[in-house]
Every structure is written in C-alpha cells, then in structure tokens.
Structure 1
Amino acid sequence: MVRIETIVEKVEKDNPDIKTIYKAADIIKKGGVVAFPTETVYGLGANSFDDKAIDKIFIAKGRPQDNPLILHVNNVEEVYLLVETVDKKAKKVMESFWPGPLTLIFKKSEKVSKKLTGGLSTVAIRMPKHKIASEIIKYSKVPIAAPSANLSGKPSPTNAEHVIRDLYGRVDMIIDGGDTGIGVESTVLDISQDIPTILRPGGVTYEDLIKIFPKVEYDQSIIKDDEDIVPKSPGQKYKHYAPKAKMIVFSGNIEDIPSAIKKYSKKAEEEGKKLGIMATEETKKEYSGENILVVGSRKEKDTIAKNLFKVLRQFDDLNVDIILAEGVDTTGIGTAIMNRMKKACGGNIIKV
C-alpha cells in the first residue's frame, strides 16, 4: 500500500487536549482513520457510514473482509438508529455494563453497511468507557467502526508504541494516551437470539453476566476448533494475537506445569532453539536462564490480561524461536486469557 503521513500526538488519559480531540474527529469526518486508546486495547477508527473509510481500515490492517468490525457509540440513543429493535434483554445489559468492555450483537438496521458486518445481518456495538475514545466519538458525531489498531493477526496493541510499530505510515493519526487498562478486547455477547451467547470472552465475564440473566451460553467456537465457522464476531475465525515465534501453552494443574515446561525446554535447547518462557509471579523462581518474562500474578488474573499482549510483543523483540507459556484456570477473566492464548498459539496446547 502507499504510505501516508501519520500524525502522532500524546494526550493525558483522563484530561485529553480538546484541540487534539477536534483534530482526530475532523480526520474521521473527512474519511480518514485514527488510532486511539480504549479501556481494552487501542482501536483503529473510521466513520461507520463511509464505505471508503471502512475500506481504509481493512487495507491498513491487512484484515480479511469477512471479519466483522465493531461499532463504537457515545450514547444509547445512537443504538436505536443502528439496529432493528432494542428489547428488554438489551436494555437490561446496557444499563448494567455500558459504558464498558462489552460488545453486543443486534440485528442490524438498513442504515448499517454490510461492509462492516462481514455481510452478516447482525451488527456488533459497544460504548467504550475510556475518556479519549468517548470524546472522539462525541465530536465526530458518527458511530465509529473500530477494530484493534494492529496488523491483522499480530498481538493487539496496549500502548501507542505497539500501534506505531504496526501502523505508522498506514493511518492518518495515532493518539498516544498511554497504556490501556484491561489489556484484552471486549466481551462480545450475542443478544439477537433467545439465550445470550458469549462469542468472545473479555473484560465482562460469564460470572458477571449470569448475575443478570437466568442463562448464558458460550458459543461453540470458544469450546471447539473453529476453522470452518462463519465469524459472527471479531476474533472468531482467524489466527489472532500471534507472536513471531512458535508458541506452546501448557495447561493443567499449576503444580505440574513448571516441570513440564522445563522438560520441554531441555529438549528444545538441545535442538539449538532459542527459548522464551512466559511465567507468573508465583512460578518465576522455578525457571533459570534468559528470556523469562513474568506476565502477571495468578492471584490477580487481571494483571495477566493487562500484560499478555505486551509480553508477546516483548518476545518478538527478543527474537526467540519458541515461547513456552503457562496457562491459567478459566474462572473470571481467565476464560478470556486462555481464549487469547489459544488463538496466539494456533491451538498448540499441551495438557499436563
């Protein structure tokens, strides 16, 4: 693609310079694309009513056209223009979790281009909680289509440096608002069917959702291999979040995982492979050697979610051949962490 001039501007997370916000909103109004932080990861935004602008997102990311985009809104009233109906179930979940890291799947209205829905009859919508994202949507005066601001397939960006590495020269503007908070993308919940169904786990957990609904299900794509599915949500069909190196995830009882990793490490080192080990605070002393990165604490899994993509990119910088990663239990946000790890390693999981 032809390289374009990219503006990079740094702003305060909670008190962004209004001139920078105006500039970003103006670029979006005129059909450009802007990368900005949200509470989950950095997003790459464009006017959702402009098909040419939507095309620029796919081109900049190298993203397959059948991979749906998420629409970001600033208020609930905008949702009514974008969907066929907002029922009691939808109102209940929006009141409980918006603004926040939850994307909802609705039946789309005719106003929504099929270009951003991957040709589907449904649309994914969320209202971000992040001040910068919210202000850009507000002053753009249009719902913003925004996937994660990374090259397709790479780990999602949790700071502006990640975005600059991937997209500088490909987008009109990058807003540096510091590190994101949650670190993994929003939960995607399909409320267009009778039973609310999680299509992608994220910051709003199953345990959160079951408090307001009598029944919540996981989509089969989360449970089973998903090579042949039609993606109803971003992150379902394609290999995502992948580091350059081969990655293997070890899951099971944490008392057994370090010994399994060390056994595999010895074999790989004998073959001349440069290893990286993704450890946790509780297990880091189990390992010796170089390229051991601590992703967070098992006692506070939100720290693992926050650091996961950053650590995967650090392994890229270390030029390791193989990453051996500890899995986590799938309670709370652990489901989202393991979902991203599974995608990052292409399903290469060893159960111990």
Structure 2
Amino acid sequence: MVVTSDIEKASETLRAGGLVALPTETVYGLGANAEDPAAVARIFQTKGRPPTHPLIVHIGGADQLDEWVEEASATARLLAEHFWPGPLTLVLRRGRRVPLEATGGLETVAVRVPDHPVALALLSAFGGGITAPSANRFGSVSPTTADHVRAELGDAVDFVLDGGPCGVGVESTIVDVTGETPSILRPGGVTREDLEAVLGHPVALPSTSHVRVPGQHPSHYAPRARVVLVEPERVVAEGELARQRGHQVGLLLPPAFADAPVKAHAVVTVPASTTAYARGLYGFLRDLDQQGCDLIVASLPTDEGLGLAIANRLRRAAEPRPSA
C-alpha cells in the first residue's frame, strides 16, 4: 500500500535525477523528470531502448496541456476532455518545455494524463511532467505489477511505487492530432469505437506513419518463448504438432475451445471478455515463460473494442526477434 511518505520519496528521487517505477491504469512506467535530459537518458540506458524511440510525457491534468505542447487543436482538447485521465495519448507539436531527448529527436511529443491515484498523486507532488515508458527491458513483455518491475529491472530502478495490479493491462491508445484528421498510431486502452463516438466520424488506423511513437517497433511486447499465431480452431492442433517436435508448448486457448482435450506443457484459457483478456494478457505471457515454455501458440481476437489492442500486441510479440 502506498503512503504519503512513499509519494514524497518518489518525488524527491525524480527531482534528484533518479528513476521511479510508478503504476498507471495501463502498465507500470519507468519514470524520470521529463525536463532533465540526463535523467531521460537513464531511461534509455536502463531499458536498452534506442534513443530515437520517443517517450510519453505524463502530466497531472488536461489543464496543463498548453505547458507541454506548442498548440492544442480543438480536436485534441475534445479528446482530452472526454478521455483524460485515461489510457489515451495525444501526439502534438513539442513545446519548449520538452527536451528533444524525450521525443527521440522529433518535433512532436506524446502526452497523456494517467488514470491511477498513485500516479496522479506523484505528479501532483512532483509538480512537473514525468516521462514513463513501460518499466521493462526494451521489446519484452510490459509489467502490470510491481513484482514484474522488480524481477526484470531490479536495482536499476531507484524507487518502486507499488500501486497494485494495473486495471487496463495494455498500453494507452496513441492518436496523432498534429494534422486535420486524427489517426490511431497504436491501439490501446481507449477503443476505436469510443474515439469515433466522441469525434462523430471514423478514425483511421494507418499501416505506416511518418510520426514515430512508442510501440511501433516490429518485435515488441515479446515473452522469451516464441509466439506462433494461428486461427482459433487450429490452436490445439498446432500445439500438439509442436509438442511432438519436442517443444515445451504453452497455449493461449480461445474460450470456445476450453473443453477441448489438450496435450501441452501449460494452458491458459483466455477470458471471453476482451476487457479481462487485456487486463491479463501480459501476465499470461509471463506465466507461460516462467513455466518453461519455449513456444506459445495463440490466436487473434476480433478487432472490436479492446480486441484491436490485444491483436496488435500479439502480432508484435510474434514478429521475428532482432539478432543479439
């Protein structure tokens, strides 16, 4: 349980140029003072993250947006009004307060207001912006508990705020609002349908973008085990074939096949609710790793609601890994 003294210590750590792992509603973030280039550089070093890969600046409220961006459009303000605090990140032109180290050298900045009482308390006590990508090694499974952070980063983090399990479980939706027409650069905790309901028109989901944002690296959100994606009705059979070839197989079993006879090293029957599936996804992948699986067979949910974000994460987890 987080107490006032923990918030104060975390705030002091940030002011001193340190790194703080903090809970948000999406995943745990590895936070640094957004205005301290040296502290921001430590995030990249600790994660093994390419310095051209932008970070998200977390702020304490929509009323602070103008302090961090050059200009907020009417569309940006409308989305902020409806979805902040919440799992929505807006990409806008960088304000002078944001160093280029935090944007990967770009003149755009990604900004959001997290919907977690501990994160908001820290932002209030600190009084500034906090850059906070996921608190894990670059490209691996994002952490949704404080224990995940400690297991992966250990003493590389100066202070860990334990705010319990994350409620959403996948990262924020990133929307580019630098132009006249907003587009989703990364699906996440705010659904495409929710955005379209507020805006009153369809929102594009481009396959490529000139704006670099977090989570666009081809291989990302990946467990140690290799991930193979097949059609839902093929999960059990593909898992059996892999087992016969000598793999320690883990299955993310679609709920429609929960009663199917299965031979596998480990099995997780995924929830029928995409909300529950998103909340548990990264934990499922970590658990299959911990059980010694070297191959995970899964299928993609439909792209409705949070299914779009889950499918995005699974596709990137299944991409070929960069060679060491």
> With structure 2 as the length reference, what TM-score do the two structures score?
0.95
Q: Call closer, same or farther: CA 1:347–1:302 in 2, change over 3 Å.
A: farther
Following the alignment from structure 1 to structure 2, what is the Cα–Cα distance between the partners of residues 276 and 294?
Answer: 8
What residue in structure 2 maps to residue 334 of structure 1? Answer: 307
Aligned partner (choices 283, 287, 290) of residue 317 of structure 1: 290
Change (3 A) 1:295 1:114: farther
Residues 281, 294 of structure 1: 8 Å contact kept: no
Aligned partners of 2:46 and 2:276: how far apart in 1? 30
How far apart, in 1, do the equivalents of 2:315 and 2:188 lie?
Answer: 14
Aligned partner of 1:307 in structure 2 is 280
Q: Deviations over 1:29-76 (max 9, x none)?
A: 111000011000001100000000001111111111111000000022
Q: Deviations over 1:245-291 (max 9, x none)?
A: 1111124xxxxx23x22332332222211111111333222142343
- For 1:49, the equivalent position in structure 2 comes to 35
Matched residue of 1:93: which SS?
helix
- Please name the residue that 2:215 is paired with: 235
Deviation, 1:315, is 1.2
Question: Which residue in 2 is equivalent to 1:3?
Answer: none
**Residue matched to 2:93:** 107
Contact 1:295 1:308 in 2 (8 A): no
Match of 2:227 in 1: 247
Shifted more, 57-66 versus 277-286: the winner is: 277-286
Deviations 1:227-257 (A, max 9, x none): xx76621001241111111111124xxxxx2
Provide the alpha-carbon RMSD of the alignment: 1.6
Is the Cα contact below 8 Å between 1:41 and 1:157 reproduced in 2?
Answer: yes
Q: Distance in 2 between matches of 1:154 and 1:287?
A: 31
Work out the CA distance in 2 between the residues paired with 1:140 and 1:295.
Answer: 42
Partners of 1:282 and 1:46 lie apart in 2 by: 43
The yes-or-no answer on 1:271 pairing with 2:257 is: no
In 2: Cα distance, 1:273 partner to 1:120 partner: 43
Q: Which amino acid aligns with 1:70?
A: I
Q: Deviations over 1:203-244 (max 9, x none)?
A: 1111001112223111223xxxxxxx7662100124111111
Contact kept, 8 Å, 2:167 with 2:279, in 1: the verdict is yes
**Which of residues 52, 56, 60 in structure 2 aligns to 1:70?**
56
Moved more, 199-208 or 242-251: 242-251
Q: Which runs of 5+ in 2 are unaligned?
A: none
Which residue, out of 20, 28, 35, partners 2:21?
35
Alignment CA distance shift 1:115-1:238 (3 Å): farther
Answer 1 or 2: which has greater helix percent.
2
**Structure 2 CA distance, aligned partners of 1:173 and 1:231?**
32
| 8 Å CA contact retained: 1:295, 1:311 | no
Give the aligned length: 320
Shift of 1:292: 3.6
The corresponding residue for 2:260 is 286
1:54-133 → structure 2 map (5 Å cutoff):
54-133=40-119
SS of residue paired to 2:275 = helix
Question: Segments of 4+ in structure 1 off by > 6 A?
Answer: none
Q: Provide closer, same or farther for how the CA distance between residues 177 and 291 of structure 1 changes in structure 2, counting only shifts above 3 A.
A: farther
TM-fit CA distance, 1:78: 2.1
Whole-Å separation in 1 of the counterparts to 2:254 and 2:5? 41
CA contact (8 A) 1:40 1:182 kept: yes
TM-score, length-scaled by structure 1 = 0.87
Seen in structure 2, the aligned counterparts of structure 1 residues 287 and 190 have a Cα distance that, compared at 3 Å, is farther
1:156 corresponds to which of 123, 129, 142: 142
Kindly provide the CA deviation profile for residues 154-180 of structure 1, in whole angstroms up to 9, marking residues without a partner as x. 100011111011111111011122110
Q: Does 1:219 align with 2:202?
A: no
